[in-house]
Amino acid sequence: REAYCDGPTVYNPTGQIPNDPEIPLLLDRVYPCHEVVRVDYHLPGCPPSAESIWQTLTALLNNRPVDLPYELIKYD
């Protein structure tokens, strides 16, 4: 209910909760993406820098290994 009606940024004046059978039920906790699906690449950052996204995509599109410089993957 909270996700559809009571969240701080939710605008749902009728209080309608989606009930389409195609929508999966909400779980009791949030799972990291890598626990649900196989992840081939992880770009650090929240969000990742535009430069790290660009370098990763261009490497993949050109069939080169992804090798980001330290400046793009450090946490400082």
DSSP states of 11-39: --TT------TTSPPPPSS---HHHHS--
Q: What is the CA radius of gyration of the chain?
A: 19
At 15-26, the pLDDT tens digits run 898 888 898 877
Of the pLDDT bands very low, low, confident and very high (cuts 50, 70, 90), residue 73 is confident
pLDDT above 70 for 76: no
Predicted confidence at residue 58, as pLDDT, reads 97
Q: Which residues of 27-46 are buried (b: 16+ CB within 10 A; e: fewer)?
A: eeeeeeeeeeeeeeeeeeee
Structure tokens at 74: 């450090």
| Angle at CA of residue 42, ends 33 and 37, nearest 5° | 30
Q: What is the pLDDT of residues 22-63, one digit of tens each?
A: 988 778 899 999 999 999 988 988 899 999 999 999 999 999
